[in-house]
Amino acid sequence: MIRVTIAVPEAHIEAANELARCIGYTEADGLTYGEASWQDSEGNRYAVASTLAEASFVQAAASPLVEPPWGADMAAAAQAQAIVAVFGVAEDEGSPEAQPDRITAIVMDDPQAAIGMLRLVRVDQPET
């Protein structure tokens, strides 16, 4: 198993959840990305998730998508897949800093270190 920490720009959360439905294990994977409660230094907001995944996750995330038995918006899933950048699996990959035009995934055992590499900070949530 590997740990993957993923930052999804606010504008791409719905599409990223459709991608998660396709490459995840159950229909519930469509709820992976919730509120955009993290932000970068420019104020761009992101949803962040960190999970354990099979070692084949990186390959599966880049492979042709197959609609799962529970269904998915395949066009949205493909749009999300097209902007995924994965770091931590090869040398000299560039900057893993979160960017508003891509979904950034970091393969690393320490999710807090990955969030530091993404250069994101938690946004205070309003009290309910």
Q: pLDDT tens, 32-59?
A: 999 999 999 999 999 999 999 888 888 8
Q: Is residue 127 part of a domain?
A: no
**Counted domains in the chain:** 1
Q: Is residue 13 part of a domain?
A: yes
Q: Is residue 16 part of a domain?
A: yes
Region class of 30: left (phi > 0), else alpha (psi between -120 and 50), else beta? alpha
- Give CA–CA dist 8/54, Å, rounded: 20
**Range(s) of the domain holding residue 60:** 2-122
pLDDT band at 103 (very low <50, low <70, confident <90, very high): very high
- Give CA–CA dist 26/72, Å, rounded: 11
Express each pLDDT in 21-31 by its tens digit.
Answer: 999 889 999 99
Q: Is residue 128 part of a domain?
A: no
Q: Is residue 114 part of a domain?
A: yes
Q: Is residue 26 part of a domain?
A: yes
- Quickly tell me which residue has 């979160």 as its tokens: 98
- Give CA–CA dist 18/24, Å, rounded: 10
The answer to whether 24 and 78 are in contact (CB under 8 A) is no
pTM score above 0.75: yes
Q: Is residue 82 part of a domain?
A: yes
Whether the per-residue pLDDT at 104 is higher than 90: the answer is: yes
Structure token pair of residue 81: 């897949």
